[in-house]
Amino acid sequence: MLKKLNQLLESIPYPLLLVMSVFMLIAPIQPEPHLVQKFHWLVKGLPFKAIDVFDVFWHLLPLFLLGLKFFLARHYQRPHS
């Protein structure tokens, strides 16, 4: 299963994942990024709804895929001859 996931992630270029990660981390810029907003809610102890959990997941997904792509690329690296 990890091998198939690695093949899928290999089809997505690093620059695209990097741009997507940065964009989703700062989106929306005004009034404040969602991740910053949700972090403030967490610190203040405000309740989270299911949509808020999905929102955090959605905004972190490209960063998670970038990290997973990097990890799997290193794990499935072919030895040099």
- 6-24 tens-digit pLDDT: 888 889 999 999 999 999 9
d(CA 9, CA 13): 8
Question: What secondary structure letter does DSSP report for 36?
Answer: H
Which pLDDT does position 81 carry in this prediction? 47
Domain map (residue ranges) of the chain: 2-75
pTM: 0.80
